[in-house]
Amino acid sequence: MRAKVMFIGEQPGDSEDREGHPFVGPAGKLLRKALTEAGLDPKKVYITNAVKHFKFIVRGKKRIHNKPKVIEIRACEPWLESELKLVRPEIVVTLGATASQALLGSSFRLTKHRGKILSSALAPRLLATLHPSAILRSPDSKTRHREMGKFIADLKRVASLLSR
């Protein structure tokens, strides 16, 4: 599939692992809503994860996300590299610190570079932003609303780059 924009998250979540597709759970619903509000068609972007398996710990009957180790991220690099070669995006958007560091190195700091257009060997342009699940984990509705606004603003930057 060829797409102008490629979104790369960290790893599948429980819903994604069960359904076999990226971003189909709560974070995916939030991502699609934000894409639409930013003027990007969710059906015209490519969405994937840096890590291809769901790493989790079991708590009771629930499978809870567990951050992947560097070795697990590196083991999945060939798949991600293949996706990048096939999709050939004009813009790569990394979702969250783990995905950003997987692609840009462990010294990359999302807090410093969020929302900035960066040059990259992965695509002509790259933008790093928050992972939608971070918005869902916000402590209250006021914070969720504020973070959603910032997230949509980041995605609007992507949309404006495509319209040039």
116: containing domain: 5-162
Query: Does residue 164 register a pLDDT over 80?
Result: no
Separation CA 122–CA 124 (nearest Å): 7
- Give percent of the chain with pLDDT exceeding 90: 84
Residues 123-146 have pLDDT tens digits of 999 999 999 999 999 999 999 999
| pLDDT of 47 | 98
**Cβ proximity of 106 and 97 under 8 Å:** no
In this structure, the strands spanning 62-65 and 117-118 are: unpaired
Assign residue 137 the CATH number of its domain: 3.40.470.10
How many domains in the chain?
1
pLDDT of residue 163: 82
Is the pLDDT confidence value at 78 over 80? yes
pLDDT, mean over the chain: 94
Cα–Cα distance between 160 and 164 in angstroms, integer?
A: 7
> What's the rounded mean pLDDT across residues 51-61?
92
Count of residues in the chain: 164
Q: Please report, as a single letter, which amino acid is at residue 72.
A: E
- The average pLDDT across 87-105 equals 95
Between CA 101 and CA 113 the distance in angstroms is: 12
pLDDT at 19: 92
